[in-house]
Structure 1
């Protein structure tokens, strides 16, 4: 079959783009794959032979380009990766080839927009604007707050357009239906993301170092690495343990100032990394302190190498994954003290940590590309 992935940006170093590349390695053995995006990141080295880009932001021009490309490439299936809601009008245009099957993958927790709007003011760097946006948010004056039905309607339209809408976890099926107020849910299914990394070292736990790892975007809206720094600071006797922070983002400088001003020891900012595998290999613990999440890719990747995940209990996706490993590693939101005590216990108690790490390794098999690929095969089967 000829499959077209529809993305906002591609290629790019980002979660959705990385997942697309990973599943593409599996699918390209059986199918012809193409990619259509708004923008590309020229700093990313990738084969762009089968990549196409909309000529402009014009809705009319985009529809014409999309329809022509579908015909030219003889596309059978469109995969709406994101989903990027402005694509609704393109994939549902009246002149489209209606024989083309469309699937949308929701790569976040349903309803995240309603949670995100509470904290989006934190991304503003200018102090006065930040205060203004915070007040505006608290008064409920953002469009999403006083007119949530507009957003819900976009997701209902998306659901109607697609043959299937795919969420990351079975628990998100009901969440999607309830939050976006669908009348039914028969076209909703769950397929988690595959891992990019696979560990073949049967003695990986014997090679672990005293490293606590964070992988992600350095911003204060959702990831809240400032919480992680507070937790790390509160652990007085760190011994030989180190906190390594992989990633970049708008608040990196602010976070580095916190480390310097609060004299927080044994913290290293490593910036954006093209290959995270060496960090997962050495890490004993992989951590998140987010306000909201979907199903975290860093956990799916980390457990491949027996890194013990630990997180606040803020998402059904992570909850399903971590509970299957150990309920102890889910922390009540947003108790810094409880998180600090559990992290310290994982650091100091080798037997306890290794027992959980063994369970993490067993769980990791579910996210191997071949296992997730089988779910894709079933999804894409001709009707």
Structure 2
């Protein structure tokens, strides 16, 4: 059966963030499964993609302005984006929008293209939307053919809107080939951007790990991510007496090298959707210690099997689990090997197969279709 063309919409594929990595991985996976893929980066101006795309993925930059400060500007931006998306998506059999307002644009385009399959692919927790965006999504999402989410909480949330086809599909791993860690390395790794909202929780990770680090002077936590090398985390580590044991690195091009030098992953995030970093840790045979925050970690970590999941805010238990991992090489190995075994479910082939029924639904339509691929 001849594959249909897919237009994959993303805000800015040049940004080095989790959504962009997940989008790159999905584009590569679908192209590898035989689907012609055009990746449309709406707010970028032609810089290289942050993560490698295969030659089979066509990349198109629209170069639109992204920043807005009020609802009037948001509506103007919606209309402007809609106008610029019309032409590059018009021959696609399927549109996948990797961001809520891009999905609204695609839903509006679908009103004139009933033959097109339009799918919203959700990455951010829906309750974090600005009120206007949330209202627009509630108004236009019923026009979509499907909404794909990353966790069960989001699936239930969108189903409560009355949407009939909400599907949970995990992200594709960035590292299909599992690389088992060397568990005697005295390094824990934590990955994520240090943002003003402190969502990644480095401000609580350092104080909670510090008492253990002070008793284990050979151990380090390596924190990797955007804005991590700034003064705030340095001052926090100094205040807790572990300045030499908290290594802070900016976002790196070869994150795999950092995982390979670690013995386990630790994260203290305040909320997550489906953390790419846990997928990456599994692919390197690393157990993950995380708080049971809304909503992704609980769907990726089996407590005591391939990592530890601690009730959110229970700093005493978090510190105790951290100490167990630091002092127990056999435990790190046991949990890490189990994590590696679970990594296969996130392979490009496995995830592309989960997407296939959605992408093929358009072939069963009785409404008018437009011939041709992307």
TM-score by length of 2: 0.82
Q: Contact 1:165/1:187 (CA < 8 Å) preserved in 2?
A: yes
Q: State which drifts further: 320-329 or 332-341.
A: 320-329
Secondary structure of the corresponding residue to residue 103 of structure 1: strand
Q: CA deviation at 1:253?
A: 2.2
Q: Point out where structure 1 has 5 or more consecutive residues left out of the alignment.
A: 114-143
Q: Contact 1:167/1:191 (CA < 8 Å) preserved in 2?
A: yes
Do structure 1's residue 194 and structure 2's residue 172 form an aligned pair?
yes
Q: Distance in 2 between matches of 1:324 and 1:341?
A: 14
Do structure 1's residue 154 and structure 2's residue 171 form an aligned pair?
no
Q: Contact 2:178/2:283 (CA < 8 Å) preserved in 1?
A: no
Secondary structure of the corresponding residue to residue 323 of structure 1: coil
Q: Write out per-residue CA displacement over residues 111-135 of structure 1, whole angstroms, 9 at most, x where no aligned residue.
A: 244xxxxxxxxxxxxxxxxxxxxxx
Match of 1:274 among 253, 256, 259: 253
Do structure 1's residue 303 and structure 2's residue 282 form an aligned pair?
yes
Q: Contact 2:119/2:148 (CA < 8 Å) preserved in 1?
A: yes
- Alignment match, 1:175: 157
- Alignment match, 1:135: none
The 1:347–1:364 alpha-carbon spacing in structure 2 relative to 1, beyond 3 Å, is: same
Match of 1:23 among 13, 20, 26: 26
Q: Distance in 2 between matches of 1:205 and 1:173?
A: 34
Secondary structure of the corresponding residue to residue 20 of structure 1: helix
Q: How does 1:343-382 map to 2 (within 5 A)?
A: 343-381=322-360, 382=363
Q: Write out per-residue CA displacement over residues 274-301 of structure 1, whole angstroms, 9 at most, x where no aligned residue.
A: 1211111222111111111111110011
- Alignment match, 2:210: 233
Q: Which protein, 1 or 2, shows the higher relative CO under an 8 Å CA cutoff with sep ≥ 6?
A: 2
Q: Distance in 2 between matches of 1:198 and 1:276?
A: 14
The 1:332–1:209 alpha-carbon spacing in structure 2 relative to 1, beyond 3 Å, is: same
Q: Distance in 1 between matches of 2:150 and 2:85?
A: 27
The 1:193–1:69 alpha-carbon spacing in structure 2 relative to 1, beyond 3 Å, is: same
- Alignment match, 1:130: none
TM-score by length of 1: 0.80
- Alignment match, 2:116: 100
Q: Distance in 1 between matches of 2:183 and 2:36?
A: 40
Q: CA deviation at 1:60?
A: 4.3
- Alignment match, 1:247: 225
Q: Contact 2:107/2:141 (CA < 8 Å) preserved in 1?
A: no
- Alignment match, 2:296: 317
Q: Contact 1:287/1:311 (CA < 8 Å) preserved in 2?
A: yes
Q: CA deviation at 1:375?
A: 0.5
Q: How does 1:2-13 map to 2 (within 5 A)?
A: 2-13=5-16
Q: Contact 1:165/1:188 (CA < 8 Å) preserved in 2?
A: yes
Q: CA deviation at 1:172?
A: 3.0
Q: CA deviation at 1:54?
A: 5.4
Q: Distance in 2 between matches of 1:365 and 1:91?
A: 34
Q: Contact 1:5/1:78 (CA < 8 Å) preserved in 2?
A: yes
Q: Contact 1:36/1:54 (CA < 8 Å) preserved in 2?
A: no
Instruction: Indicate the RMSD between aligned Cα atoms, in angstroms.
Output: 2.6
- Alignment match, 1:136: none
Q: Distance in 2 between matches of 1:326 and 1:163?
A: 37
Q: Contact 2:13/2:49 (CA < 8 Å) preserved in 1?
A: no
Q: Contact 1:67/1:96 (CA < 8 Å) preserved in 2?
A: no
Q: CA deviation at 1:315?
A: 2.3
Secondary structure of the corresponding residue to residue 322 of structure 1: coil
Q: Point out where structure 2 has 5 or more consecutive residues left out of the alignment.
A: 66-75, 365-374
The 1:226–1:307 alpha-carbon spacing in structure 2 relative to 1, beyond 3 Å, is: same
Q: Contact 1:231/1:336 (CA < 8 Å) preserved in 2?
A: yes
How many residues are treated as equivalent by the alignment?
Answer: 340
Q: CA deviation at 1:335?
A: 2.3
- Alignment match, 2:367: none
Secondary structure of the corresponding residue to residue 294 of structure 1: coil
Q: Distance in 1 between matches of 2:119 and 2:110?
A: 18
Q: CA deviation at 1:165?
A: 0.2
Match of 1:88 among 101, 104, 114: 104
